[in-house]
Amino acid sequence: MAVHFVKMGVLPYGPAPSDEVSALKLIEICGRTAYKSEDKITDTSAKSFVLMLKSHGHLSVLEHSNIVLKVEPVPGADPAGENRPLSYEWVLESLKDRLGFHRIFPLGPGGASGCILAGNIRAWLETLRYLRACEPAGFRFFAAQFHRFFPNLFEPAPESGDPLPHAASLMTEQDQLGLLKRDPALDLPVFVFRFVCDRGITHEVVRHRVLSFTQESTRYVNYKNKGMVLIVPEEVAGFHDEKAGALTGDDPLAQMWRDRAERLFDWYREDLARGLRPETARDILPNLLKSEIFVSGRFSGWKHFVLLRDSSHAHPRIRFLAREVRKYFEQMGLPIAENG
Ligand SMILES: Cc1cc2nc3c(=O)[nH]c(=O)nc-3n(C[C@H](O)[C@H](O)[C@H](O)COP(=O)(O)OP(=O)(O)OC[C@H]3O[C@@H](n4cnc5c(N)ncnc54)[C@H](O)[C@@H]3O)c2cc1C
């Protein structure tokens, strides 16, 4: 069968993992969704795949991640002396052009006990580049920490200079979640979801700029052999046979949708047959085309998404996604009130 019909779906992946091995695996799953090459995933494929993305500058996929560091002064070190460069104020001042990509919280009054810094891998890679140019001491410190915790993705720090008298530890996703539940301002974890929806709805989802996205590509995916997959239109949901992935029965409406879909797919295949590339042949594919998209973000971003999209003003299909996201957070003990 050339055309399939499937239901929408929401798959929560939970908080982004805090260890490198799991982080690489998750990024690989997200990245391979774009090319539909999930069949190439093996036990050892993640590292080379993610390093390939990094070397090609395809860094947006590395946003489906989170590194949270707790930085504290070493006991006994002089806070007015060597400690100063890494005080909470120093961090705010030094990262000033990069603050929008991070969450930074003071520990103790005025940050006297250090701070917690969060960012996804892309943000940290680019922040390190920024620090290298303007804050060599801070760069050395952070580069050393990131290389310690994520040795495959972050290069070793330069040897020169005295180490700064601070200790950094990696905060686990469970610890991040515990802090967020205690205080919603401590917006530390990054939550990752996979949506299966139609192309029209992914276009609405990607308008939420504070979230991160990796989406199935109609440029690189050739549907000729796999068949074209559409989301079931609501008006014929009653005729959907989920197991067969088809609209069944003699109802004229179901027949109409089957005919339309087959005709469109015939045109797509004809265009490929006359030598067009998938990126051009896709012009005829409908808005209803099934698309998989990974979406990641912190609780504040998701809360905004739910408040705007779980609404009677929103399209019913994005509303479905927003309701599933709302349910997930409710189950996590993070309810989103109707009025925000
Ligand atoms: C019912 C409904 C109907 C819609 N209809 C249309 C339509 O007809 N046409 C259309 O084009 N779009 C439409 N949209 C999309 C809408 O305009 C937004 O693009 C989308 O909802 C994302 O919202 P946002 O910008 O608040 O969220 P995000 O992009 O996730 O931003 C979250 C928050 O970050 C801040 N922020 C992010 N970027 C900036 C920035 N550059 N400057 C200042 N603050 C920023 C703001 O505080 C914002 O609230 C519709 C949305 C809804 C819910």
Choose, from 122, 298, 309, 317, the residue flagged as catalytic: 309
Arithmetic mean of pLDDT over the chain:
92
Q: With cut-offs at 50, 70 and 90, classify the pLDDT of residue 94.
A: confident
Note the pLDDT of residue 137.
80
Phi and psi for 208 in degrees, rounded to 5? -85, 90
Q: Give pLDDT tens digits for 284-326.
A: 999 999 999 999 999 999 999 999 999 999 999 999 999 999 9
Q: Is 309 a catalytic residue?
A: yes
pLDDT at residue 110 greater than cutoff 90 = no
Q: Give pLDDT tens digits for 148-160.
A: 999 999 998 877 6
Entry pTM: 0.94
Note the pLDDT of residue 157.
84
Atom of ligand 1 nearest to the CA of 313: 1
Note the pLDDT of residue 59.
97
What is the CA(208)–ligand 1 centre distance, in A? 6
pLDDT at residue 339 greater than cutoff 80 = no
pLDDT at residue 82 greater than cutoff 60 = no
304 lines ligand 1 (CB under 6 A): yes
Specify whether the CB–CB gap between 296 and 16 falls below 8 A: yes
Specify whether the CB–CB gap between 244 and 254 falls below 8 A: no
Note the pLDDT of residue 77.
64
Note the pLDDT of residue 222.
87
Q: With cut-offs at 50, 70 and 90, classify the pLDDT of residue 101.
A: very high
Q: Which residues contact residue 257 at a Cβ distance below 8 angstroms, ignoring those fewer than 6 apart?
A: 5, 233, 236, 247
Q: Which residues contact residue 20 at a Cβ distance below 8 angstroms, ignoring those fewer than 6 apart?
A: 149, 150, 151, 152, 153
What is the CA(209)–ligand 1 centre distance, in A? 8
Q: Give pLDDT tens digits for 13-45.
A: 999 999 999 999 999 999 999 888 899 999 999
Q: Which residues contact residue 229 at a Cβ distance below 8 angstroms, ignoring those fewer than 6 apart?
A: 3, 4, 5, 6, 223, 245, 289, 290
Specify whether the CB–CB gap between 114 and 107 falls below 8 A: yes
Domain boundaries, the chain: 3-16+189-331, 67-182
Token digits of residue 15: 């908080």
208 lines ligand 1 (CB under 6 A): yes
* CATH number for region 3-16+189-331: 3.30.1360.170
More confident position, 339 or 337: 337
- Report the candidate in 197, 196, 151 with the shortest Cα–Cα distance to residue 170: 151
Note the pLDDT of residue 79.
58
What is the CA(305)–ligand 1 centre distance, in A? 9
What is the CA(207)–ligand 1 centre distance, in A? 6
Residue pointed to by tokens 């930085």: 71
Phi and psi for 111 in degrees, rounded to 5? 80, 20
Which residue minimizes the CA distance to atom 32 of ligand 1? 210
User: Any bridge partners for residue 288, and if so which?
Assistant: none
More confident position, 225 or 315: 315
